[in-house]
Amino acid sequence: MYSTSKKIFFVSLSAILLSSCVAEKRFQDEVSARAKAEEERARLKSENIDLKATEADLMNKMTDYERQLIHLRKDTAVMSTSLDRMTTNYDKLNSTYEQLLDQMGKLREGNADDTKRLTKELQDARKDIQVREDQLHKLELALANREGNLDATRAELDRSKEEVEDKRLQLMARSKRISDLEGVLARKDSAVVALKNNIANALLGFADQGLTVEQKNGKVYVSLEEQLLFKSGSWVVDSKGKEALTKLGKVLQTQPEVGILVEGHTDNVPFGGNGNVADNWDLSAKRATSIVKLLMENSSINPTQLTAAGRSEYLPLDAADTKEARAKNRRTEIIITPKLNELFKILEGN
């Protein structure tokens, strides 16, 4: 009969520890999500600074390209006017040349001096026409080059405008992402502050009896010394501890969006109690489980929010080998963490 009871006890204990491990992993996932969100916010802020600097450089380039475009348009207009003027002069010279040829033909049989003079004028006109043709050709080449530069500048300006618009859209998207993350974190932090204040007010009468309430790392920590909850080596909660836990449960039952981790801690003195507990691991797990059950019995907390974990002697508050340090290390910590569903959604969105 005794052997059967012992087997049932160890099976039950194994089930409790397995449940604790699963819930502990879920708790650690939520803590990791918050840390990831903080890193993401810092990274996005840094990327926003880089994007703004890039946008400023592109805007300066755009301004420079637009200034070049204006100058090129002015130069092109001047060169076009010169080209029109030279074309007109060229046409006039051609007309004069034709007239001189006609006159030369008429006077070829006339006065020799007139013929010589007209021949010289004809040669001079031909040279002048050649010079003007060369100038006209150079001007046409220069104008074509200017027009090519104008087209290239206009294309570069269009590309810069597209790049600026793309950077602007990226900047807007990242700014919204940062705003969303900061909004969720702010709401969570505000909720944690309010929860900490509510718990502290509810447990005000136990402040000098080994109970403390702290807020850190986005969570609320309720720490209860052994003297408030248990007799030495026992996992049965005393009446004073029951009163404190009942008041705590009334506050926590109004918080469906939090996870509640109950951790049992012992000192480093090997357990030497009755045969129902093997060691400090067993004692710390039994104490955590007793508190979880008490919270469930005296409140309407959803059991899925609760996790019981035994920490044994391995997370001491004070590592000194003194009576005072050991008393400080024998404690139960109730860690309340807001669920981070909104943060998960934002992080999974990218």
CATH number for the domain spanning 94: value is: 1.10.287
Q: Which residues of 183-207 are buried (b: 16+ CB within 10 A; e: fewer)?
A: ebbeebeebbeebbebbbebbeebe
Complete DSSP assignment for 142-203: HHHHHHHHHHHHHHHHHHHHHHHHHHHHHHHHHHHHHHHHHHHHHHHHHHHHHHHHHHHHHT
Q: For residue 298, is it within any domain?
A: yes
Query: What pLDDT, on the 0 to 100 scale, is given for residue 320?
Result: 94
**Does residue 72 or residue 18 have the better pLDDT?**
72
Contact 292, 338 (CB under 8 A): no
Q: Based on the domain organization, do 138 and 199 belong to the same domain?
A: no
For residue 312, name the pLDDT band (cuts at 50, 70, 90): very high
Q: For residue 209, is it within any domain?
A: yes
**Does residue 312 or residue 134 have the better pLDDT?**
312
pTM: 0.56
Query: Rounded distance, CA 278 to CA 256, Å?
Result: 35
Q: Based on the domain organization, do 128 and 234 belong to the same domain?
A: no
Boundary-marking domain end, from 159, 185, 211? 185
Closest by Cα among 237, 256, 230, 271 to 341: 256
Question: What's the mean pLDDT in 281-292?
Answer: 96
Average pLDDT, the chain: 82
Domain boundaries, position 125:
48-185
Query: Rounded distance, CA 325 to CA 299, Å?
Result: 33
- Residue 301 in this model has a pLDDT that exceeds 90: yes
Closest by Cα among 262, 266, 261 to 337: 261
For residue 1, name the pLDDT band (cuts at 50, 70, 90): very low
**Looking up tokens 């669920």, which residue turns up?**
339
Closest by Cα among 330, 289, 314, 300 to 18: 289
Sheet holding 306-312, edge to edge: 211-216, 219-225, 331-338, 258-265, 306-312
280-297 helix and 239-252 helix, angle to the nearest 10 degrees: 60
Per residue in 211-246, pLDDT (tens digit) is 999 999 889 999 999 999 999 889 999 999 999 999
Per residue in 73-88, pLDDT (tens digit) is 887 787 778 778 877 8
- Residue 261 in this model has a pLDDT that exceeds 90: yes
Handedness of CA 233, 239, 244, 248 (dihedral sign): positive
Question: What's the mean pLDDT in 280-288?
Answer: 95
For residue 250, name the pLDDT band (cuts at 50, 70, 90): very high
User: Tokens for 144?
Assistant: 């074509």
CATH number reported for the structural domain that contains residue 299 in this entry: 3.30.1330.60
For residue 108, name the pLDDT band (cuts at 50, 70, 90): low
Question: What's the mean pLDDT in 123-136?
Answer: 83
Count of domains in the chain? Answer: 2
| 83 three-state secondary structure | helix
Helix locations, the chain, DSSP H: 2-107, 112-202, 226-229, 239-252, 280-297, 323-329, 341-348
Q: For residue 43, is it within any domain?
A: no
Q: Based on the domain organization, do 166 and 53 belong to the same domain?
A: yes
CA 219 to each of CA 24, 150, 189: distance values in angstroms, whole numbers, following the listed order: 15, 63, 9
Phi, psi angle pair for 211, to nearest 5°: -125, 130
Q: Based on the domain organization, do 15 and 156 belong to the same domain?
A: no
Angle at 87 between CA 82 and CA 91, to 5 degrees: 150
Query: Rounded distance, CA 342 to CA 346, Å?
Result: 6
- Residue 328 in this model has a pLDDT that exceeds 80: yes
Boundary-marking domain end, from 130, 162, 185? 185
Q: Based on the domain organization, do 34 and 56 belong to the same domain?
A: no
